[in-house]
Each structure stands twice: as C-alpha cells, then as structure tokens.
Amino acid sequence: MNKPCAPSCERNQEVILDVLKQIIAPADKHLLEIGSGTGQHAVFMAPNFPHLQWQISDLLENHSGINMWLNEGNLDNVSAPIVYQSGKSEFPDMELDIVFTTNTLHIMSWKSVEIMISQLSENLKKGAKIIIYGPFNYNGQFTSDSNAKFDVWLKEQETHRGIRNFEDIVQLMAENGIRLKQDIEMPANNRILYFYKS
C-alpha cells in the first residue's frame, strides 16, 4: 500500500494552523481529532503544540494509511489512531480539552452529526473547545458556485452527504449546551467554527 496523500490537506494546513495557534492555549493538554483521514493534519500541526497530546481517530479502514504518516513523522505527542465513527462507536473515554475536526460534517450523515454533537455534550467538560473546519451554507444558501457544485458531487457519492447549514449546526450545538465563540472566514469558501462547552 502506498502512503495516502490528501492534496487538500497540503493546501489548507498552513491557514488552519494559524487559527489553531490563536485558539489553543498552553493549558490545553489533550486534543481529539475526529475523522483524521490520512493523519496529515496531525503530523503537520502537532509539532507546533508540544504541550498537547494529539489523539488521532477515524474508521479502522483508514488506520494503516495514518500509521504510515505517523511512522514517518515519529512524533512524541501524536497518539496512534483509535476507532471513532459517530453513529457506530462509543465516544472515546478520555479527558479532553479540545475536539478538532476538518471536512467531516458534510461526509457523515445528519443523524451521525446529531449523535456526535450529543456525545460531545455528554463527554466534554465545561470550557472544552470544539474546532470545526469545512464549508457551510448560510440561511440555506451556498456561499459560492464551487460549494454548490461540491454539494452536487457529494450527493452523487452518497445521498446522505452534503454541505450543512451553519444555523442548523449552531442550533444543534446550543440545544446540547455548546456555544459558538467564533465563526472565522477561511480561504476557498471554508470556515472555522469555534465552539465551547458551556
């Protein structure tokens, strides 16, 4: 098996890292990444936060690719992948300061989004940070033609996929005791939604 590579990670990792540097504090010790994909983001970003243990997670089928990146990266503060698939798995039993996820909410079904957010509510301590990167619609409208085309493509792959509405995510989070702190514009019609457990 060749080491998997996600070109999108290489395009967006610098700008996401810049935002993480503003959000992650020295007191933050444990981060869970949901839907790590290839693991590239962890390998690129974790060395910038040596005080933080970065726990990778994804479906089991992605672990061998992730391990190739980890073996090459040889990083002390990135932990070997664990299985987490919202809708199918229990939430990882660990103390967490931050949950970080990129490009996952439009991939998992809406039901899985709902389950993940209720699990975040049940498992995170007060003040924990939740950082979500990806494309979002506002008031049901695409923010660009490219996002509209991307949404068509997503639904051709799997009917349950699709770009989520910002307002739906904020409302669902609020119903679960999680508040929006910042909505940050990112390049290429993406956003970072930064929430905290209240």
Ligand X SMILES: C[S@@+](CC[C@H](N)C(=O)[O-])C[C@H]1O[C@@H](n2cnc3c(N)ncnc32)[C@H](O)[C@@H]1O
Give the residues lining the site for ligand X (CB under 6 A). 6, 8-9, 34-37, 58-59, 62, 84-87, 102-104, 107-108, 112
Q: Is 152 exposed, middle or buried (0-12, 13-18, 19+ CB in 10 A)?
A: exposed
**Shortest Å, Cβ 113 to ligand X:** 8
Pair of tokens at residue 118: 């209720």
DSSP annotation string for 90-103: PPP-S--SEEEEES
**Shortest Å, Cβ 39 to ligand X:** 9
Place of tokens 């070997």: 80
**HSE (side-chain half, CA atoms, 13 Å) at 108:** 24
**Shortest Å, Cβ 52 to ligand X:** 17
Instruction: Pick between residue 7 and residue 140 the one whose CB is nearest to ligand X.
Output: 7
Instruction: Pick between residue 127 and residue 160 the one whose CB is nearest to ligand X.
Output: 160
Instruction: Pick between residue 91 and residue 195 the one whose CB is nearest to ligand X.
Output: 91
DSSP3 helix / strand / coil % (the chain, rounded to 5)? 40, 25, 35
Instruction: Pick between residue 35 and residue 135 the one whose CB is nearest to ligand X.
Output: 35
**Shortest Å, Cβ 27 to ligand X:** 25
d(CA 11, CA 13): 6
How many angstroms separate the first and last alpha carbons of the chain? 44
**Shortest Å, Cβ 193 to ligand X:** 14
Instruction: Please give the single-letter amino acid code of residue 150.
Output: F
Residue nearest to ligand X (CB): 37
Instruction: Pick between residue 8 and residue 198 the one whose CB is nearest to ligand X.
Output: 8
